[in-house]
């Protein structure tokens, strides 16, 4: 069953684009990608909020795959939001 999911991707460079994030998400982005300053306090990095419409197993696998990538020597981290986003 396909469900809308929201994925947070941490550790992106500030110059990251929607296209960069969708390529990490295997082209499965279903909406706009929103960017914010990384809450880790490192203002050289950004986080992305990505909306996806997938089945649960594929969403978890995608999050794991994103976590295997590194940009400028820094490993990316991705979280799958399981609670409704207010």
CA dihedral sign of residues 67, 25, 6, 46: positive
Strand partners, 47: 36
**Which residue is associated with the tokens 């976590």?**
67
pTM: 0.78
CA dihedral sign of residues 61, 2, 39, 14: positive
d(CA 6, CA 42): 23
pLDDT digits (tens, 9 = 90+) for 7-50: 888 888 888 888 888 888 876 777 776 777 666 666 677 888 88
Fold of the 2-81 domain: Alpha-Beta Plaits (3.30.70)
């Amino acid at each position: 069953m396909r469900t809308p999911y929201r994925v947070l991707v941490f550790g992106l460079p500030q110059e990251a684009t929607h296209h960069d994030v969708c390529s990490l998400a295997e082209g499965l982005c279903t909406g706009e990608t929103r960017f914010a300053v990384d809450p880790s306090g490192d203002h050289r990095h950004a986080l992305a909020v990505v909306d996806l419409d997938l089945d649960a197993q594929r969403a978890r696998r995608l999050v794991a795959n994103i976590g295997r990538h590194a940009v400028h020597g820094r490993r990316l981290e991705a979280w799958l939001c399981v609670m409704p986003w207010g």
